[in-house]
Amino acid sequence: MENLDDPVITTATGYAIPRTAWARIRDGFVVAIAHTYDHLKHPFDEVAGAKPGNVPLQGETVIRVTGSNAAVGHLVNSKGNLTPAEGRTTAHSPGQPAYHEGVAPEVIPVSPSEEAEPEPAPEIPPPDKPEGE
């Protein structure tokens, strides 16, 4: 895949000018990320951008990423909020918040092979008494 990021532009003092991150969404998952400067349109020309707060969870769209970092594989909800997939393989349902519990890890029951007996408590010596008492 070609690099769609604009080159870094710096000020006279050497500070980089902030850039806007764009995420390409396919069926509720981030599939590509690109950065442009604020005055430029997103680089995914063939895909229509989503309206803020109304992100379709089916098909393809582009959203502006604000306030967080996006990574390929993250999930997006219908409001445009991103969250790590954490093992989930399906998109959020409409209205579902982005930050909810992920898939619970599989619980493997453990049982001792033989009946375990508790260990005896260690003996605690009496405290030392000062002489003359």
> Virtual CA dihedral for 60, 40, 53, 93, nearest 10 degrees?
20
Cβ neighbours of 60 (radius 10 Å): 15
Query: Which pLDDT belongs to residue 101?
Result: 63
114-117, Cβ contacts within 8 angstroms, sequence gap of 24 or more: none
Instruction: For the beta carbon of residue 6, count every other beta carbon within 10 angstroms.
Output: 15
What stretches in the chain show pLDDT beneath 70?
Answer: 1-6, 100-104, 112-114, 116, 131-133
Look at residue 2 in the predicted model and tell me its pLDDT: 59
Q: What residue spans define the domains of the chain?
A: 20-83
Residue 6: the pLDDT is 67
Is residue 94 within 8 Å of 57, Cβ to Cβ?
Answer: yes
